[in-house]
């Protein structure tokens, strides 16, 4: 309980800092909104989903991928924030206080999770405005839609621990931002986020299908009432909800352990 309380105190500190720099939230919203608009109106008419070129079909197919991309791109911000605290010596001050060693990182990732949830909420409103239609027509589907957003937030939280490790491993916030983005592009684009993996080269399909990012996207499509067109027998595509949960939990377990260990050695 003491470690949890310390983590919540640090999370509160980071949320106050974010509220005093509103441009951080505003700029974080602009990019995903641009992706929604560009992919919907620029590329939507030329994309084929299940043999259909109907833009409305692609909108429902696309949004799960955009949502997942948005929560994972928060990784770069998490890494930059931790690198900035390290660079300014703030983490050394925290170390002088009687607090749990992992609280600094846990608090930071929890604060980033709150910011991601706000971004996701605004992005869902924009998606509805451009024509995204999840299964809200049937009241029994509301729980499934909310579960889909829960999986997205869990994936985003898992990836912020990767960002935390990167932020602790570099010397400057600029390097953390670059290091946090350079690996995200292949992870998000070699997936089923924007096109069905069956349309990729044969050697690339297994990579996309076993990508943790793809599992969450496929799970969200299923929960949102649009299972997509994937007919793969790969476990993450056949059982996307369980695969998404498993991937996220494993990522948190591995990278939280590595990040806390790095935090202790880097600031010792």
Average pLDDT over residues 131-147: 74
Do residues 101 and 3 touch, judged by C-beta distance below 8 A?
A: no
Q: pLDDT by residue (tens digit) across 248-263? A: 999 999 999 999 888 8
For the chain, the domains span 2-266
Task: Quickly state the pLDDT bin for 48 (edges 50, 70, 90).
Answer: low
pTM of model > 0.75: yes
pLDDT digits (tens, 9 = 90+) for 81-114: 888 877 777 777 777 777 777 788 888 899 889 9
At residue 36, φ and ψ (nearest 5 deg) are -60, -50
Confidence of residue 268 (pLDDT cuts 50, 70, 90): very low
List the alpha helices (DSSP H) in the chain.
2-19, 22-38, 55-88, 90-95, 103-129, 142-169, 173-182, 184-189, 205-209, 212-223, 235-238, 240-266
Task: Answer for the pair 118, 25: CB distance below 8 angstroms, yes or no.
Answer: yes
Q: Could you count the other beta carbons within 10 Å of the beta carbon of residue 27?
A: 11
């Amino acid at each position: 309980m003491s470690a949890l309380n310390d983590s919540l105190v640090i999370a509160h500190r980071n949320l106050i800092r974010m509220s005093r720099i509103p441009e951080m939230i505003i700029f974080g919203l602009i990019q995903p909104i641009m992706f929604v608009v560009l992919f919907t109106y620029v590329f939507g008419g030329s994309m084929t989903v299940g043999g259909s070129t109907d833009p409305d079909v692609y909108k429902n197919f696309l949004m799960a991928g955009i949502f997942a991309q948005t929560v994972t791109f928060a990784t770069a911000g998490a890494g930059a924030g931790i690198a900035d605290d390290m660079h300014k010596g703030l983490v050394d001050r925290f170390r002088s206080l009687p607090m749990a060693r992992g609280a600094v990182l846990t608090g930071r990732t929890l604060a980033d999770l709150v910011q991601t949830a706000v971004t996701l909420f605004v992005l869902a409103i924009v998606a509805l405005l451009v024509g995204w239609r999840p299964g809200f027509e049937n009241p029994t589907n509301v729980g499934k839609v909310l579960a889909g957003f829960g999986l997205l937030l869990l994936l985003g939280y898992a990836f912020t621990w990767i960002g935390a490790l990167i932020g602790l491993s570099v010397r400057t916030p600029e390097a953390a931002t670059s290091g946090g983005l350079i690996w995200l592009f292949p992870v998000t684009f070699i997936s089923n986020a924007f096109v069905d993996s069956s349309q990729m080269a044969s050697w690339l399909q297994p990579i996309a299908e076993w990508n943790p990012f793809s599992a969450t996207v496929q799970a969200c499509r299923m929960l949102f009432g649009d299972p997509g067109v994937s007919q793969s027998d790969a476990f993450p595509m056949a059982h996307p909800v369980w695969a998404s949960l498993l991937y996220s939990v494993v990522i948190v377990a591995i990278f939280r352990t590595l990040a806390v260990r790095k935090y202790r050695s880097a600031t010792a």
